[in-house]
Amino acid sequence: MVSHGNVLHNLSSFPGVEQRPYSAVVSWLPFFHDLGLILGVLHPLYRGVPSILMPATFFVQRPLRWLQAITRYRASTTGGPNFAYDLCVRKTTAEERAALDLRSWNLALNGSEPVRSATLDRFAAAFGPCGFRRAAFYPSYGLADATSTVSGGPGLTEPVIHTVDRKALEHDRVVETTSGGAGALGLVGCGKTVKGQKIVIVNPERLTACRDREVGEIWVSGPSVAQGYWNRSEETAQAFRARLSDANEGPFLRTGDLGFLLDGELFITGRLKDLIIIKGGNHYPEDIELTVEQSHRALRTGCGAAFSIDVANEERLVIVQEVEPAAEKDLDEAIGNIRQELAAAHEIDVYAIVLINRGSLPKTSSGKIQRRACRAGFMAESLSVAAEWREGAEPDRMREDAGSPQPVKGWDKSQATAAIESWMISYFSERFGIEPQQIDIRQPFTRYGLASIEAVSLTRDLEVRLARTLPPTLAWDYPTIEALANHLAGCSPVSRPNFDAGMALQPKAEPIAIIGIGCRFPGAKGPRAFWRLLCEGVDAITEIPRSRWDINTLYSPDQAAPGKMVTRRGGFLEDLDRFDANFFGISPREAVHIDPRQRLTLELAWEALEDAGIPPDSLAGSETGVFIATLSGDYSEILFDDLSRVDAYSGPGTANSVIANRLSYFFDLRGPSLALDTACSGSLVAIHLACQSLRAGESSMALAGGG
């Protein structure tokens, strides 16, 4: 629970903004991340400077976009987790960097995961020629429990690097050594505490304060520390109400992170709690272990450990899991299932999976998993291994003879498909250390451990090799090698139409056919039932049913009577409350906020396609237009009359402008998508516009209607 006071203190006390030039912000960090909200939205509002925002997928797909935005808008301030800086180095070329101007960049915040000195070195070397100054780096420490920032550096000064002995640090001892020596580790200082707050390093067992250069748990007190966890009083007391046992000083926030102070500078060394932070995302080992043990019948329940290790200055996930004795034939399948489930459930890729023999997982006498002992056994290669898989190569190592799919243009579709499939098999083989013959092109990408960031990165690699602009969601839209290769082989590079003089679209003279109908009328749930009503002359206008409202209370023949109606009859559609939200991929929570007209339009569009004999899935990506007439309704008035029922779904769920877009989004239609209101003539106008769109060549097919 973060109060307004917490936020205001954190904004006002952030040393980086106070002591460095601050004129414009660029951010790609998502708003659900505390750093994304503070850096990209609240700081600019508080200080009154412009903020340029971009989706995280745009950055991951092409990190150059972040740097181009800094150049274009002369941004002074931006940042992200450590992996973002590495990604910029790996995914940009010398030619692309030559066009950048990073001289305005005064605060390059690096936080949310361990800051690596090697990353700072690589980035400064790569982008120094673009005007980036090493002094712009701003390593920082923070966490959402303390609103955001806990510590940060002063003005434009280079980061503090302290070189220690790695082996000694593993035993929580700070032993200085020379840079570049055997076992040397360069720790990056994360600045000093923000004003008005206090950082103490505490022995987590004795709860006493440590001296300088002694490793302990980082405790924080001050106005930025949040109020606690919502409706979790016990956990709040443990985390937010800690006190030093020797001085009875407190309360402090226990961060669960380990570190030490040196002349007031905070250095992070690890974590007391088992939280795993990979690419800026927090993952609890218990959640990962549960996903792993449920992924295959050969894996023993409650006998697995998830932990992280440092691989090439990057934190990576390792799984150690016991297997049943009779599961020898299933071990390869189990490893594949683990990769797939972790990618799907946690959006995380695995560095190594070690399946060990029954009873060999390190545990305490009370049966608790000893993750540190598992990690030590993995590093020492002393585990009782039944089967093992490790990622086989660096992310960007690709064989030169992998069969680049670039020359698709001159080939037929089958040749292009085969080339793209071959390239992707090589990509997955090199990226995840899997033998090419073990890769099934019909299996989902998650089977091989492709998480969200890697999926966007794959799209970018394909863009480069195909010289084509591709959407960042491509790997989700076509989630297998076979599906993606077929799609890419059948696509032409996106190009802008040329509307020069004399190039205006010429109307088509061919006739237009109505090939399918879906409808709802009072007393008729479809076209056949409606036709029967017409043929039999049935009047479907009935007395208002009791299930709708009490007509005896609301009816009055006196037209001047306030709050009364002068008729007892009306036309009513049935079963509007029986909308199958799950069928349309809509959560029950969202469904109740969707205007019945939007729900009905989805159902009728599906029925019209069925009536036409067209599989709805076959329209995905087609130039099918949508033209829907709509009138103002009272559902939004009813919904917004009670503010307690209003949430994020209420706006789009009741907006007339969304009614056509919802169809286009659900069916993945790429033609025009238009909602219109011309009162009683709306449906006819919608059909008229659909016909115009077909004749002009804008649409290959159209859905038109209204009510």
- 282 three-state secondary structure: strand
Name the band, by pLDDT with cuts 50, 70 and 90, for residue 129. Answer: very high
What whole-number distance in Å separates Cα of residue 34 and Cα of residue 163? 30
Exposed/middle/buried for residue 163 (C-beta within 10 Å: 0-12, 13-18, 19+): middle
* Residue pair 225/145 in contact by the 8 Å Cβ criterion: yes
Residue 501 or residue 435, greater confidence: 435
**Tens of pLDDT along 679-694?**
888 889 999 999 988 8
Cβ contacts of residue 25 below 8 Å, gap of 6+? 39, 40, 43, 44, 49, 50, 51, 52, 75, 76, 77, 78
Q: Can you give the pLDDT at residue 397?
A: 34
Name the band, by pLDDT with cuts 50, 70 and 90, for residue 400. Answer: very low
Residue 155 pLDDT > 60: yes
Q: Can you give the pLDDT at residue 182?
A: 63
Residue 381: what are its φ and ψ, rounded to 5°? 55, 45
Q: Can you give the pLDDT at residue 290?
A: 82
Exposed/middle/buried for residue 533 (C-beta within 10 Å: 0-12, 13-18, 19+): middle
What whole-number distance in Å separates Cα of residue 457 and Cα of residue 463? 10
What whole-number distance in Å separates Cα of residue 415 and Cα of residue 19? 59
The separation between the first and the last C-alpha atoms of the chain, rounded to the nearest angstrom, is 46
**Tens of pLDDT along 96-113?**
999 999 999 999 999 877
Q: Can you give the pLDDT at residue 199?
A: 93
Radius of gyration of the chain (CA): 31
Cβ-based neighbour number of residue 189 at 10 Å: 22
- Report strand pairing: 161-165 vs 184-188: antiparallel
Q: Which fold has domain 406-489?
A: 1.10.1200
- Report strand pairing: 192-193 vs 184-188: unpaired
* Residue pair 75/107 in contact by the 8 Å Cβ criterion: no
Q: Among 254, 259, 258, 234, which Cα is nearest to 244's?
A: 254
Token pair for residue 706?
């209204």
Mean pLDDT of the chain: 83
Residue 186 pLDDT > 70: yes
Q: Can you give the pLDDT at residue 200?
A: 93
Q: Can you give the pLDDT at residue 165?
A: 82
Residue 326 pLDDT > 80: no
Token pair for residue 519?
């409808």
Q: Can you give the pLDDT at residue 545?
A: 85
User: The domain 4-157: what is its CATH number?
Assistant: 3.40.50.980
Residue 590: what are its φ and ψ, rounded to 5°? -70, -35
Q: Can you give the pLDDT at residue 280?
A: 65
- Overall average pLDDT of the 638-665 stretch: 78
* Residue pair 209/202 in contact by the 8 Å Cβ criterion: yes
- 355 three-state secondary structure: strand
Q: Which fold has domain 505-520+575-707?
A: Peroxisomal Thiolase; Chain A, domain 1 (3.40.47)
Q: What is the pTM of this model?
A: 0.54
What whole-number distance in Å separates Cα of residue 531 and Cα of residue 527? 6
Q: Which fold has domain 276-390?
A: GMP Synthetase; Chain A, domain 3 (3.30.300)
**Tens of pLDDT along 526-551?**
888 888 889 888 888 888 888 888 88
Q: Can you give the pLDDT at residue 365?
A: 58
Residue 604 pLDDT > 50: yes
Name the band, by pLDDT with cuts 50, 70 and 90, for residue 393. Answer: very low
Residue 28 or residue 247, greater confidence: 28
Percent of the chain whose pLDDT exceeds 70: 91
What whole-number distance in Å separates Cα of residue 630 and Cα of residue 674? 10
Helix, strand counts (H, E) of the chain: 26, 25
Domains 4-157 and 505-520+575-707 share a fold: no
What H or E segment, with its residue span, contains residue 119?
A: helix 117-127
DSSP string spanning 276-338? EEETTEEE-HHHHHHHHHTS-TTEEEEEEEEEEEEETTEEEEEEEEEE-TT-GGGHHHHHHHH
**Tens of pLDDT along 445-498?**
877 777 777 777 788 788 777 777 788 777 878 888 888 888 888 753 333 323
- Overall average pLDDT of the 325-339 stretch: 84
Residue 407 pLDDT > 80: no
Q: Can you give the pLDDT at residue 500?
A: 34
- Overall average pLDDT of the 640-660 stretch: 76
Q: Where are the domains of the chain?
A: 4-157, 276-390, 406-489, 505-520+575-707, 535-572
Residue 505 pLDDT > 60: no
Q: Can you give the pLDDT at residue 282?
A: 66
Q: In which residue are the tokens 């087609």 written? A: 622
